Structure 1
Amino acid sequence: MSGVFYGVGVGPGDPELLTVKAIKAIEAADVIIAPKTEKKEGSVALTIASPYLKPDVEILTQVFPMVSDTEILTEAWASNKQTILTLLAAGKKVVFLTLGDPMFYSTYIYVFRLLGDSGYPIETIPGITAFCAIGSKLGYPLVEGNNILSIIPATIEQDKLDKALALSDNVVLMKVYKNYQDVVAKLKRHQLADNAVMISRCGLPGEEVVHELHTAGDKKINYLSTILARRI
């Protein structure tokens, strides 16, 4: 029997925000893959999915390095791909967990492409993104009417960030942990700071909401942090 590969979005943090389809896939899995970088201990995605794991499921941690060294990346990806293919050849149901949605800034996208010509069936199960969860949690409409919503990684080139902020009525800023103070300054410059809010670790232990962005000061911003901002 042929194995099946599932990419499952586990949402932003609250285990109750998983879809019924995601839960069914996790409960039926023979192998759960929990991706991580070499810098992190444990897997947030695995913690979120833990209420739905069957007792005898095999849990496999795969490291996906966040480095620019092509040789290291190629070796790691090739090794991870071969491990997955071996499991699928054995007829296993393999679930690859990912925070949020699998097709949104996710490591899963690269795995999906790597396995695209493998001949094994692949099913991608969507998940709730952090910014959607934040909007609902805080009663913060993301976009209305004919307004423009831009989803922006704060790590892009500064001129591109300025252009995106200038054109947008509402913004979702991802990856703000690297240059938080610069991001806040740009939001002020584009009249987007007064109606902005940041939430870190949405739905997870240690969740923090910051309505006045300047009050964060110079403290280290959590990796799982997102800013919502609007002009009105």
Structure 2
Amino acid sequence: MAGRFDLAGVGPGDPELMTIKTIRAIKACQILVLPIGSPELKKPELEEGEEETFAKECLAYRIACEAEPETKKKLRLYLPMPMIKEKKLLKEIHDAGAKKAAELLEKGKNLVFLTLGDPTVYSTGIYIYKRLKKMGYQGEIFSGIPSFCAVAARLEIPLAENRQELHVLPASYGIEEKLKLPGTKVLMKTGKKMAQVKAVLKEEGQQAKMVMNCGLDGEKIYKCTEEIPEDAGYFSIVIAKEKEK
């Protein structure tokens, strides 16, 4: 009997924000699937033992280890997940990852793919999950607390009130027009575009706050647009609102 492939969110960074469902999934599986961005990983690799060749590079894994000690006892399937935009190459990488996962599922192994935040919001794991579903394998998605919800909580501000609209936007793709949308704008993946984002915010007369590394070591909170550094890291979430009248 084939195993199951579950996709589980570990939350934004604080191990205490991991859900009970994700912890149970980790305990029940034989193999953890970890997305690795390092160019040194050329193809899927299965690893056991304490060496953890690439595990330290997977933030989702490190968070899970703090929340549940049994995480370290599991076999680890490393899947290459480079931060590139070439669709053809990404398809080949995702196809290879799904093929390797399927081989293990056919051996009756239960796999859990660990991802930051929530699996339904810009998650690399969803590409593998969808492929395996089409191949007929069983599995489930376990929600995690989205990073932007955790950021709003840290800033002590609402994301949306009354009839206010809420827009979640990847800042790396044509942000100028998107910032003109009404309501609250959540800007993700802002790191390399921060200078451009700040210029547009200023031009549009919008207020912005940001949290970098929310729930992680080195967390920093910025309460206004002017405070936000232009060299902000990858794990930076900006929440922009129209100025109150």
Residue of structure 2 in register with 1:176 after alignment: 190
Residue of structure 1 in register with 2:217 after alignment: 205
CA RMSD after TM alignment: 1.9
Residue of structure 2 in register with 1:46 after alignment: 61
Aligned partner (choices 94, 110, 114) of residue 93 of structure 1: 110
Residue of structure 2 in register with 1:222 after alignment: 233
Q: Is the 8 A contact 2:95 2:128 kept in 1?
A: no
Map residues 115-130 of structure 1 onto 2, 5 A cutoff.
115-130=132-147
Map residues 1-232 of structure 1 onto 2, 5 A cutoff.
1-38=1-38, 42-50=57-65, 51-54=67-70, 56-69=73-86, 72-157=89-174, 161-193=175-207, 196-218=208-230, 220-231=231-242, 232=244
CA distance change for structure 1 residues 229 and 115 in 2, over 3 Å: closer, same or farther?
A: same
Alpha-carbon distance, 1:151 to partner = 1.1
Q: Which residue identity is paired with 2:59?
A: V
Alpha-carbon distance, 1:119 to partner = 1.5
Alpha-carbon distance, 1:36 to partner = 1.8
Q: Is the 8 A contact 1:3 1:88 kept in 2?
A: yes
Alpha-carbon distance between aligned partners in 1 of 2:154 and 2:87, rounded to the nearest angstrom: 40
Aligned residues: 226
List per-residue Cα deviations over 1:5-34 (Å, max 9, x = no partner): 000011100111111111110121210111
Alpha-carbon distance, 1:79 to partner = 2.2
Alpha-carbon distance, 1:163 to partner = 3.2
Q: Which residue identity is paired with 1:73?
A: L
Percent of aligned positions with the same letter in both sequences? 36
CA distance change for structure 1 residues 113 and 35 in 2, over 3 Å: closer, same or farther?
A: same
Residue of structure 1 in register with 2:48 after alignment: none
Q: Which residue identity is paired with 2:16?
A: E
CA distance change for structure 1 residues 70 and 131 in 2, over 3 Å: closer, same or farther?
A: closer
CA distance change for structure 1 residues 91 and 12 in 2, over 3 Å: closer, same or farther?
A: same
Listed as ranges, the gaps of 5+ residues in structure 1 are: none
Alpha-carbon distance, 1:115 to partner = 1.1
